[in-house]
Structure 1
Amino acid sequence: MGRHRNCPARSVTRMGIALTYCFIAVDDHEKALAFYRDAVGLEVRNDVGYEGMRWVTVAAPGQDAQIVLEPPGMDPDASPADRETIADLMAKGLMRGVVFTVDDCDATFERIRASGAEVLQEPMDQPYGVRDCAFRDPAGNLVRFNQQPNP
């Protein structure tokens, strides 16, 4: 499509941008650490308590993007009913999670399964080109592991 004739041409300046944090609700930080740190292999970057709450930040070694494991319903505008709804969704396993890229899906699967994590999908080749597997973390969040096809 061409440019609308009443709109002047604009140049787009590229800006540096990178993902820094994403947030996952967890209801038990110790169980979450056993999964994300011990089974998955992420490192703890920060562990902060404030007014009876706790936020733990984890990340893959050598990467900047971090996952904040936070108490459910931490949005300051969330009502008590909102927090209850979030807790209900977590209990049903309906919260979204994260997708990791790994070098070896099968080895990752075996390591995490050996930790006792809930398996949702054993490793399989997907029609869209990746081999992947899936687990639920202890709070019910979906966690997938993708292996890109060999070039």
Structure 2
Amino acid sequence: MITGFALVCLNVGDLDEAKRFYVDVLGFEVGIDREMDGFRWLTVHVPGRPELPMMLVVPEPPVVEEPIAGQLHSLMARGYLGLGALSTDDCRATCAELKARGVEITEEPEERFYGIDAAFRDPFGNHWRLTQPKTLDDIRDGAT
């Protein structure tokens, strides 16, 4: 039986730049940052949630061979490889904070059936949703 996610991987263009963005700008914490067998393992997680790590990976040889590596970089830059949504308790306030830190907000906060939702991109083009979710009961009941 599957009990949850153990690790989520996100393609990025540069590990040091990704670490600066996800830690210094978004406020994530570093879980692992070490080199093993010629590969740099870098995981980050939201504060206080180390059980939900995101591994930052540069898609390049020898991990990913050409021409696939180039195709992944191209898709990433266009925003096609985003993982999904990050949650927040206050979407509008978080967007304002991120804007002040220089984050590109691509969609301003908007009310949706599942909560308040916005979008932003990381320095590599990865598309993220930022969501202040409603409870599942509210969504099922159609609460606005």
TM-score range, shorter chain: 0.7 to 0.9
Does the 8 Å contact 2:12/2:59 carry over to 1?
yes
The TM-score with structure 1 as length reference comes to: 0.77
Unaligned segments of structure 2, at least 5 residues: 139-144
Counterparts of 1:118 and 1:50, CA distance in 2? 33
Does the 8 Å contact 1:132/1:147 carry over to 2?
yes
Per the alignment, residue 87 of structure 2 pairs with: 101
Total equivalences in the alignment: 135
Counterparts of 2:95 and 2:88, CA distance in 1? 10
Which range moves more in the overlay, 101-110 or 33-42?
33-42
Where do residues 81-96 of structure 1 align in structure 2 (5 Å cutoff)? 81-96=67-82
Does the 8 Å contact 1:73/1:86 carry over to 2?
no
CA RMSD of aligned residues (A): 2.2
Structure 1 pair 125/28, CA: closer, same or farther in 2 (3 Å)?
same
Per the alignment, residue 136 of structure 1 pairs with: 121
Does the 8 Å contact 2:10/2:54 carry over to 1?
yes
Counterparts of 1:42 and 1:114, CA distance in 2? 17
Identical counterparts, % of pairs: 33
Where do residues 2-151 of structure 1 align in structure 2 (5 Å cutoff)? 15=1, 17-50=3-36, 53-63=39-49, 64-73=51-60, 76=63, 78-126=64-112, 128-149=113-134
